[in-house]
Structure 1
């Protein structure tokens, strides 16, 4: 029995009861056990004032038709006239539908729960009905009122060797319905025959894939059980079962037996070793392919053979610098088309290294002093600069060493006459490296490279940002064990779960190949539907917008299906120039972006500089920690003339366009009121701009705590989860050693999101989210459940997020959010979302 990985129809369930509340309650319980993939409809009570008991054949017929498919429909009824109403409803159905609808005599509650579990796995209609009819025997067996149900053991493969697994059950209530359902789910991907017996009670063997058979064994806490598997993937099935048992089948162990070790387990020599390495999620997705390893010798360790005269060496270096400069410009331009303007700006820093006057002066002097040729002196100069960065107190600036070394390596390669500065660009398959340089990632052919895995690296590195922008599944920080892989060996990258398997067996490969096919179909469907509104299955709408940095990206956002721009970063107008843009230049840019959106809303974030984004023509002074210094709104309030010019330009553009204005890095109510007053002053000359909604970004924990007061005056909020996570955990996001804290799915951060949405909604304000979390399809149901009204993300993520929203159910998402808020770590939340702990697939997540 294998759970369907596609959209193939499953048996639908109709619950018929005299009480509408009872029908809905039974359906809720069945959905909890069966999961969101099981279709359940109710037909309870009668129309009329108040709570009218009774059954209505027409209502039953409509419920059947609402979820009818070729897989069929099972109808469960409570008593009396419910049976007659169901029989009459059957007569009202079209003749070709009647043969696929069964009326079931099973007990309503127990039968519905068991039927939902069986339907989840694509079990045929008559088998679902048979399991439902046997549901009461599990309760009778537990209470001693009936003999345990014995079912024929699954056959597996005749003649194949048997393997066994014994352990003591630690669950407080033993193998009750929920652990039994999780057992079936975990085993659904294996073809092996699987039997179970209770060694403590000396029971007979039963089919371990029958929920009734498992529960009728009466396995209680402290009982020892034995699983017997036979078939090609029997060992893998038992290994998966062992892991499930060690997690107590998803229940807290509790009770007197808590902490009892597993014992008596037969060694599973036949079971293949999984070889999983865990790291840091960089870019989600699944990739399977041959390894293309990059452990080759570091080019910077090589030396040149011949050294010419100083003037000749200086000329050689100038030619190499020019060649690399041309390549960087080409890379930047190509990346702006493939990804976005902000990502391409990463290479502005590379250009600045090539033009650094102090660096070049030092190289010139040492070449002419006879210290060496262009190759060796340039290498020494780059190492010298890298050491200076390494000594800086700011972790983020230290992380920029990778950019210095990347540029330095490219120049060395050019000096040696190599054909290209990034030799990995012709590689295919799954690239495995100790670390990746930004230039290497930028030049990859995303159609040939299936995935990336690195022993080192953090989610905030420029290489990671580039991998995400190109949509290549990637996991970094896997550790030195990654070097065990050899050229051409098969690698399995489950980037969504931040792990890589070095030695995947055939069963695991088959499972992930199915997942990859489903993901491909999902991406293709998402692209086809990108222009349509993203409504959840129960009709709830969440606006999907884009983060952009220039006008051209606004047009790309519309093409990608964006319903507006939730974050227009205005910094691009202020960088790479000798002075600030004047009011007219800004006005033209804002107006052009609004026109490109063709009437869709445009949220303009006022200038957000400082920290890691200094303006060369405005000296903010030396700061020990720029991230805790004059940045964002603080910078604007200090530079009022600059700020007022930008506000006037926005007000002018908003006269005839749906523009909203948003202030970054608000820490106090006083800052907000001061900025709001400056906006009102700027808008005075443009009466039509007075309608503009004015909001602020929630990026500092103090703003979360003050949201009740801020909501009294702000029109909206936008959660910047990147900075909010950084400040919440006092962990600079560029610090590789603190990468484990840079997870926006940590329940502490989620509690802040929940507080903001609750307080904002209580005062009629809407809440958006524009951090990287917004573009994570895995997190979509959670964000819906937390009450976020708008998600704004990079353009490439729009289609997949809209599709995840369509697969989501807002009511179920709220339940999911409550569960996530009660978790104790980001890892727990990720397991909850991805279904990693018990193999459960939640709406809009993996499939």
Structure 2
């Protein structure tokens, strides 16, 4: 719709909540680099024309269209963020360049579910790319439907000619090869335009006998520059040299956003200015830190001169191997006591490698052929690494790093070297590739972050770094190893960047972000002992998951409302006989004593299947995750559960002890244990048995929640196992772990059904799985009916603060709508929009 003075009213091209650009999770759009405009979080799957005009550009990958309105306003309609990476998948363009369209015409369609799963965000942009000529006035910031008035476009007064008439100085030119994935699409083009506008000189980009002004976003995109195309840049004016260098650097910055692209080499025909150094890598563990770089030197072997006594070398190698095995067993025992499953599995694999007959035989054969034990072991490992790396499977190739970890550990013993890095606290440790053992030692020394020339985001080091909360970048390239020792750098793992020469302003910015994080944690801790009440007065219990009395004491200090899950396996592992009734009673009593007057939920032993006990031999199972585990063990060894129940029934006061049964899948299992518990109460002279709860961790239990709640006193959802059983994905599978997301709508439907079934018998429902510790999920769980969250102890304050920011009635309304979405990514996207994380 037009007004007589060339003003223009733009209608909404999509339906959905409206956001200002500042709230768009992309620095290029949010900064206004592309121009002024508005964003919409789409609820429909078709993009419509916001006004009448001509289609002047259609993105090659189908994710964006640019219109020129009749008053000259150029409008970029960009669907989603980072959608260029989809290379057209999920998009159907409905118009051609040069076509005339009317207000409301359909421009493109997209597969909402596919795009939401595959890109950073579905948030879509309407940008006025020539906003230097127009003013953008929002009409509404509420939710809109397609066709409703959205923006008022008003021409700006003309301020006279810019420096285009200046004929000062000669033209200067440079050239560069574009290696950015997707070519010169909207985001890098916006950076070029923003850079060009800093200078009075006029600059152009030239490609395939076509040219475009660097001031024009649509002109730049219209050149159709693809990956690996070589382009020329020209500048003419008083500051042409400076403009040219800045543009070449801007192009380099844009292309380097691709973490795997080779750095372009600008060819400049005048003076050359070096780009400020940034190395790009892959985020293995998120975080932002600054600190001095500390290069870790690799272990070097002395030359093997031969002439060895084979028997002595065999003995030396065997002794070293046994020493390392003993060290790893100690690491395993510690991981089990801390209930650190990921760390336990990684080092259990290392122990298995050290007993691998292929490795050992190869090493001993080399010794028989007159190799020293050091070289024999090194060659044996490297041969196996080469096999893994030539299989064409990146996940298997990353496992080679575990073998190299073992190579280093055994060699250090063989060489008699003290395995110790003298790394200053607060440093950023750099290496060609770190090993899990390296990481544990570096954590103890207080490093601020990790970066590696190689490595992968699914490696065991990456898993451990995430668990330790240590920012980590991998695949930075060999340039990392050339950086000077002690140089202060910024490790921006979230952005995949290692900033080699940050200025004082950037360092202060990073320090400020870190201070804000610490202040936020301090503020959360200050209020952690207060109840978690929603804005409309609903009380949510925030308890802690613990595995010992010491952890329980820490949880109480941290503000826990109780223990929502005590894992009793810590009593049963790493020993030759089961703990007797008295030992168990003392251990459970210690946890109750550590929690003051708070209640403690104690889960009965959950072993079997993949968690074996030395004194409980069980037959090997083809699929142990689906085998004898949890409460099913009572069918095989009922005396173990009886002994545990006796120990539990003798704690005091008994009314603060609640018993939780794992892996229940039918009502009869619950009734059997309940009858046994009642019989033991009679036998011990106990008048009132403790509350008995059921873990909801298999889909059958969720679907039978109403029937289980009739006989149980409460239900507790274990989202970790429930996720893998529902999605048929092993949560420990390196290639699938990222997809085992408990915010999948199928999981949410099971949680909703569990809460609904429990409510019919006035039973409360809690969550003790990892989802309870995810602040993004807190409003969803509250909305679906969860009234207790049992979280990792360090997160008690954070989750309580999150609860206090929410309106429970709104959570209920919005959470119900999430059940109709098609993927976990779509749910997470909606959660970010409905309940942004501060």
Category of TM-score, reference length = shorter chain: 0.5 to 0.7
Q: Return the offset for 1:363.
A: 8.9
Structure 1 match to 2:405: 406
The Cα offsets for residues 228-253 of structure 1, whole Å up to 9 and x where unpaired, read as 9x9xxxx98995999xxxxxxxxxxx
Q: Return the offset for 1:658.
A: 0.9
How far apart, CA to CA, are the structure 2 residues paired with 1:418 and 1:701? 53
Task: Give the secondary-structure state (helix, strand or coil) at the position aligned to 1:444.
Answer: helix
Unaligned runs of 5+ in 2: 1-16, 24-29, 31-49, 52-72, 81-101, 106-124, 160-185, 194-215, 222-246, 261-280
Check the 8 A contact 1:198/1:226 in 2, yes or no: no
Check the 8 A contact 2:308/2:372 in 1, yes or no: yes
How far apart, CA to CA, are the structure 1 residues paired with 2:155 and 2:322? 71
How far apart, CA to CA, are the structure 2 residues paired with 1:389 and 1:611? 28
Check the 8 A contact 1:288/1:491 in 2, yes or no: yes
- CA RMSD, 1 decimal: 5.6
How far apart, CA to CA, are the structure 2 residues paired with 1:331 and 1:396? 24
How far apart, CA to CA, are the structure 1 residues paired with 2:624 and 2:738? 22
Is structure 2 residue 76 aligned with structure 1 residue 167? yes
2:496 to 494, 497, 500: 500
Structure 2 match to 1:644: 642
Check the 8 A contact 1:769/1:788 in 2, yes or no: yes
Q: How many residues align?
A: 628
Q: Return the offset for 1:355.
A: 8.8
Structure 1 match to 2:218: 265
Structure 1 match to 2:97: none
How far apart, CA to CA, are the structure 1 residues paired with 2:538 and 2:192? 38
How far apart, CA to CA, are the structure 1 residues paired with 2:719 and 2:284? 16
The Cα offsets for residues 576-634 of structure 1, whole Å up to 9 and x where unpaired, read as 11121222221111111111111211111111112331112222112111112112222
How far apart, CA to CA, are the structure 2 residues paired with 1:326 and 1:304? 28
Q: Return the offset for 1:197.
A: 6.3
- Relative to structure 1, is the Cα distance of residues 671 and 719 closer, same or farther in structure 2, using a 3 angstrom cutoff? same
- Relative to structure 1, is the Cα distance of residues 489 and 755 closer, same or farther in structure 2, using a 3 angstrom cutoff? farther
Structure 2 match to 1:205: 134
Is structure 2 residue 660 aligned with structure 1 residue 731? no
Check the 8 A contact 2:696/2:718 in 1, yes or no: yes
- Relative to structure 1, is the Cα distance of residues 340 and 642 closer, same or farther in structure 2, using a 3 angstrom cutoff? closer
Q: Return the offset for 1:661.
A: 0.9
How far apart, CA to CA, are the structure 2 residues paired with 1:240 and 1:654? 67
Q: Return the offset for 1:396.
A: 13
- Relative to structure 1, is the Cα distance of residues 429 and 752 closer, same or farther in structure 2, using a 3 angstrom cutoff? farther
The Cα offsets for residues 729-765 of structure 1, whole Å up to 9 and x where unpaired, read as 2111222222332222222222222221222223211
- Relative to structure 1, is the Cα distance of residues 286 and 712 closer, same or farther in structure 2, using a 3 angstrom cutoff? farther
Q: Return the offset for 1:651.
A: 1.7
How far apart, CA to CA, are the structure 2 residues paired with 1:602 and 1:173? 63
Q: Return the offset for 1:528.
A: 2.5
Q: Return the offset for 1:797.
A: 2.4
1:628 to 607, 626, 629: 626
Is structure 2 residue 715 aligned with structure 1 residue 714? no
Check the 8 A contact 1:406/1:438 in 2, yes or no: yes
The Cα offsets for residues 354-402 of structure 1, whole Å up to 9 and x where unpaired, read as 9969899969975885664322444567689999999xxxx99999987
How far apart, CA to CA, are the structure 2 residues paired with 1:707 and 1:300? 60
Structure 1 match to 2:62: none
Structure 2 match to 1:419: 418
Check the 8 A contact 1:197/1:226 in 2, yes or no: no
Higher RCO (C-alpha under 8 Å, 6+ residues apart): 1
Structure 2 match to 1:374: 373
- Relative to structure 1, is the Cα distance of residues 397 and 813 closer, same or farther in structure 2, using a 3 angstrom cutoff? farther
- Relative to structure 1, is the Cα distance of residues 609 and 198 closer, same or farther in structure 2, using a 3 angstrom cutoff? closer
Structure 2 match to 1:802: 800
Check the 8 A contact 1:382/1:405 in 2, yes or no: yes
1:343-354 equivalences in 2 (<5 Å) = 349=348
Check the 8 A contact 1:174/1:221 in 2, yes or no: no
Task: Give the secondary-structure state (helix, strand or coil) at the position aligned to 1:710.
Answer: helix
Q: Which has the higher helix share?
A: 1
Is structure 2 residue 667 aligned with structure 1 residue 669? yes
Check the 8 A contact 1:536/1:810 in 2, yes or no: yes
How far apart, CA to CA, are the structure 1 residues paired with 2:286 and 2:156? 35
Q: Return the offset for 1:546.
A: 1.7
- Relative to structure 1, is the Cα distance of residues 656 and 674 closer, same or farther in structure 2, using a 3 angstrom cutoff? closer
Check the 8 A contact 1:167/1:264 in 2, yes or no: no
1:601 to 599, 602, 626: 599
Task: Give the secondary-structure state (helix, strand or coil) at the position aligned to 1:777.
Answer: coil
- Relative to structure 1, is the Cα distance of residues 356 and 329 closer, same or farther in structure 2, using a 3 angstrom cutoff? closer
- Relative to structure 1, is the Cα distance of residues 221 and 594 closer, same or farther in structure 2, using a 3 angstrom cutoff? closer
Is structure 2 residue 680 aligned with structure 1 residue 682? yes
1:500-539 equivalences in 2 (<5 Å) = 500-501=496-497, 516-539=514-537
How far apart, CA to CA, are the structure 1 residues paired with 2:138 and 2:307? 75
Q: TM-score scaled by structure 2?
A: 0.61
How far apart, CA to CA, are the structure 2 residues paired with 1:557 and 1:781? 23
The Cα offsets for residues 409-437 of structure 1, whole Å up to 9 and x where unpaired, read as 3112332344316x596685556778753
Check the 8 A contact 2:654/2:690 in 1, yes or no: no
Q: Which has the higher strand share?
A: 2
How far apart, CA to CA, are the structure 2 residues paired with 1:574 and 1:536? 40
1:763 to 732, 755, 761: 761
Structure 2 match to 1:437: 435
- Relative to structure 1, is the Cα distance of residues 747 and 360 closer, same or farther in structure 2, using a 3 angstrom cutoff? closer
Task: Give the secondary-structure state (helix, strand or coil) at the position aligned to 1:542.
Answer: strand
1:9-408 equivalences in 2 (<5 Å) = 166-168=75-77, 205-207=134-136, 239=190, 265-267=218-220, 273=254, 275=257, 285-287=287-289, 308-314=308-314, 316-317=316-317, 320-321=320-321, 324=324, 349=348, 369=368, 372-379=371-378, 406-408=405-407
How far apart, CA to CA, are the structure 2 residues paired with 1:397 and 1:596? 44
- Relative to structure 1, is the Cα distance of residues 340 and 360 closer, same or farther in structure 2, using a 3 angstrom cutoff? same
Unaligned runs of 5+ in 1: 1-31, 39-120, 122-141, 144-163, 176-193, 243-262
Check the 8 A contact 2:449/2:491 in 1, yes or no: no
Q: Return the offset for 1:503.
A: 7.1
- Relative to structure 1, is the Cα distance of residues 206 and 445 closer, same or farther in structure 2, using a 3 angstrom cutoff? same
Q: Return the offset for 1:288.
A: 5.7
Structure 2 match to 1:558: 556
Check the 8 A contact 1:353/1:404 in 2, yes or no: no
How far apart, CA to CA, are the structure 2 residues paired with 1:373 and 1:550? 46
- Relative to structure 1, is the Cα distance of residues 634 and 444 closer, same or farther in structure 2, using a 3 angstrom cutoff? same
- Relative to structure 1, is the Cα distance of residues 671 and 526 closer, same or farther in structure 2, using a 3 angstrom cutoff? same
How far apart, CA to CA, are the structure 2 residues paired with 1:400 and 1:675? 43
Q: TM-score scaled by structure 1?
A: 0.61
Q: Return the offset for 1:787.
A: 2.2
- Relative to structure 1, is the Cα distance of residues 168 and 570 closer, same or farther in structure 2, using a 3 angstrom cutoff? closer
How far apart, CA to CA, are the structure 2 residues paired with 1:289 and 1:704? 48
How far apart, CA to CA, are the structure 2 residues paired with 1:771 and 1:450? 29
How far apart, CA to CA, are the structure 2 residues paired with 1:470 and 1:400? 20
Task: Give the secondary-structure state (helix, strand or coil) at the position aligned to 2:665.
Answer: coil
How far apart, CA to CA, are the structure 1 residues paired with 2:663 and 2:791? 18
Check the 8 A contact 1:425/1:445 in 2, yes or no: no
How far apart, CA to CA, are the structure 2 residues paired with 1:326 and 1:555? 31
- Relative to structure 1, is the Cα distance of residues 673 and 688 closer, same or farther in structure 2, using a 3 angstrom cutoff? same
Task: Give the secondary-structure state (helix, strand or coil) at the position aligned to 1:797.
Answer: helix
Check the 8 A contact 2:744/2:823 in 1, yes or no: yes
How far apart, CA to CA, are the structure 1 residues paired with 2:535 and 2:329? 46
The Cα offsets for residues 774-829 of structure 1, whole Å up to 9 and x where unpaired, read as 22223222222222222222222223222222333323333442343333222223
Task: Give the secondary-structure state (helix, strand or coil) at the position aligned to 2:621.
Answer: coil
